[in-house]
Amino acid sequence: MTTATTPAARQLTPPEDEFATELAFLAAHDRGPRPPGWRLTPRAVVTFVMGSPGTALTLPDDATVPEGIPRRLEITRKFVGDRALVERCVVTLAGERGLLLVGEPGTAKSLLSELLATAVCGTGALTVQGTAGTTEDQLKYGWNYALLLAQGPSRHALVPSPVLTAMTTGAVARVEEITRCLPEVQDALVSLLSERRVAIPELAGTEDAQVHAAPGFALIATANLRDRGVSEMSAALKRRFNFETVGPIADPEAETALVRRQSRAAVERSGAAYAVDDSVLEALVTAFRDLREGRSAEGWEVERPSTVMSTAEAVAVAGALGLAAAYFPSDRDVLGLLPGHLLGVVRKDEPADAACLQGYWDGAVRRRAEQGSATWRTLWDLRHVLEG
């Protein structure tokens, strides 16, 4: 049972709570110019997202900070990607332009949008999840029908969407998977992004008939490249956004470190100890990268499956291996579980893609085994798992 002084346990902690110390520190650290309504300077927003690896920042001597905030602090890196990309995103938001993050599934577009919103306005929770069932009301406003029937149309009876709330408070709103929304729903954003106001016809003749965007309001949307053609954005809506492409992690070592960190955190949240060897993680990430890119690190051709071999999927597999090692420690070697998990990922979208994985085993895995790698020799010996 929780009390007023004991917060309820949560599976995931939102960035504004998890990194509250960093946000307060950065607000005091960088005194440069801030766009209207921003809690941090643009430079501090980039530092919050990309971190200050290996460098502890120091507050100015005359800085006043809340109790408990250290004078020196190293900012953790939260997004593994191109710093120039993040800087362009921040400049777009500072200019109050719409920002559209596009890319393959699992490339951390949603994470980046949430981190940017949190750093700019203190929360990433003003979010609409785009689906085929998303309505225009969910992007603008709805009504409390009990109050509407009892009192008639009024601002009190209006139920603002997360986007409208962001407009009135000068915050950042997020629309996830915008191309999943029907075109007529998407186009509700055209006038909102160009005119910076929402008309409420039901309140015509009152001062509440229009809601104007407060300084600082911005909109971040995400779209998966795999969703092209689902609900193509109109040219008018595209012109309201700056497009930025978020690609897969280029550096294999950085991707392995990210998979290790996030899978360890997921396992430890369950109360178990993390016991996945680095050799297993390296083999996992290598297989994902080879199948994603259609070419091994050695330059050997690899047939790509139709499913997306994303870093997010690699984290999920590494987490599953970690939980298996924790809960069934004596059943089998963790490496022996890897082929079965890879098979589950590869044939997720298309069962016939199992042949791609078998071809990968007969090619890259076999050749690495022949070169003397013990890890890849073990995996080659498990070739039969892929035939089940």
- Give the amino acid at 377: R
Residue 81 · residue 44 · CB < 8 Å? no
pLDDT digits (tens, 9 = 90+) for 220-274: 999 998 776 678 899 999 999 999 999 999 999 999 999 999 999 999 988 899 9
Q: Does domain 82-245 have CATH number 3.40.50.1000?
A: no
Pairwise CA distance, residues 154 & 173, whole Å: 24
Total residues belonging to the chain: 388
Q: Which pLDDT band holds residue 215 (cuts at 50, 70, 90)?
A: very high
Nearest residue to 308 (alpha-carbon basis) of 243, 248, 223, 379: 248
Each residue of 133-177: pLDDT tens digit? 999 999 999 999 999 999 899 999 999 999 999 999 999 999 999
**pLDDT band for position 4 (50/70/90)?**
low
Nearest-angstrom CA–CA distance, 41 and 223: 27
pLDDT(72) > 60: yes
**pLDDT of the residue at 91:** 98
Question: How far apart are the C-alpha atoms of 266 and 204, rounded to whole Å?
Answer: 51
Return the DSSP state at 354.
Answer: H
CA distance 291 to 280: 17
Residue 1 pLDDT exceeds 90? no
DSSP code at position 365: I
- Whether the per-residue pLDDT at 382 is higher than 90: the answer is yes
User: Cα–Cα distance between 124 and 102 in angstroms, integer?
Assistant: 18
Give the pTM.
0.91
Identify which of 35, 89, 96, 27 has the alpha carbon closest to the alpha carbon of residue 60.
27
Statement: residue 90 has pLDDT above 70: yes
Residue 222: name the closest of 241, 207, 206, 236 by CA: 241
Q: What is the pLDDT of residue 301?
A: 95
